Amino acid sequence: MMNVNVDQCIGCGKCIEDCFASDIEMTDGIAHIKNKTCFKCGHCIAICPTNAVSSNTLDMKEVIEYSKDEFQIKSDNLLNFVKFRRTIRQFEDQAVENEKILKIIEAGRFTQTGSNMQDPSYVVVTEGISELKALTFESLKNIGQKMLDDMTPETRRYSGYARMWLNMYEEYKENPAENDKLFFNAPVVIVVTADSIVNGALASSNMELMTNALGLGTFFSGFFVRAANENKDIRNLLEIKDGKEIVTCMVIGYPKISYKRTVPRNKPNIIWK
């Protein structure tokens, strides 16, 4: 429940104005949270000028007072940071510290979600990467073979991928250490699942930024997502609950390469109304 400390509330009404759920009312000059339509977004906690609002179901120790020096990022620096990011497929033979993995997940945990669902979940794979890899290669091979056997106008468009998956499987079976074109021998895989694909994708985007800020590199494996969505054994291995969508697969490690500059992009497609 959300609560208001009556000794600290000054009755300014800022929490009422900012409550999208209309769950706060003024009673005798003091804000009162009804806790009927509240979905614990925390806006009342964040906006209160006297820190009078709290929750007895959430960890209030996580609340940090705003500081311009610690919270603000120059817009040009942020834009350059985004422009400079690269998809990494060459990794050092070096483990990633658990502290950094948890910080990446923290960036996902504090990402906005629709109706404050907070539905993204995270499966971190380190020790079980070899088993996961074998299942995924097998799944991709089966998908590719089925596409080639049952060629339709739609699957014909993706026949190049089908042949690629078959070749990837054969090369991997021949030499797993040198021919890992799925995870590229990275030491960490984080699979992001969610009830809402949008929520999971938003979380993954912020996680990628944190990954780069920590000096790590990542790429999103769409091949894995395709394989996992058609293979119950992969979902069982990762203990993914029913109803959860596999949204992204982040392959993470220390980059073996470094880049010197940004790259050009197509002009944005913008419609001004």
Across 1-19, average pLDDT: 97
* Per-residue DSSP letter, 23: -
Is the Cβ–Cβ distance between 185 and 255 less than 8 Å? no
Identical topology for domains 2-62 and 74-273:
no
User: What are the Cα distances from residue 31, in Å, to 22, 51, 132, 147?
Assistant: 12, 13, 52, 62
User: What is the pLDDT averaged over residues 54-69?
Assistant: 96
In the prediction, which pLDDT does 151 show? 75
Return the closest-CA partner of residue 9 out of 57, 39, 50, 55. 50
Amino acid 131: pLDDT: 96
Beta bridge partners of 188: 252
pLDDT, position 247: 98
User: What whole-number distance in Å separates Cα of residue 224 and Cα of residue 124?
Assistant: 14
The pLDDT assigned to 75 comes to: 97
What is the CATH code for 74-273?
3.40.109.10
Query: What would the mean pLDDT of 195-205 be, rounded to a whole number?
Result: 98
What pLDDT is stored for residue 19 in this prediction? Answer: 98
**pLDDT score for 154:** 72
- pLDDT, tens digit, for every residue of 90-143? 999 999 999 999 999 999 999 999 999 999 999 999 999 999 999 999 999 999
> pLDDT tens across 139-195, in order?
999 999 998 988 777 777 778 999 999 999 999 999 998 999 999 999 999 999 999
Q: What top-level class would CATH report for the domain 2-62?
A: alpha beta
Residue ranges of domains in the chain: 2-62, 74-273
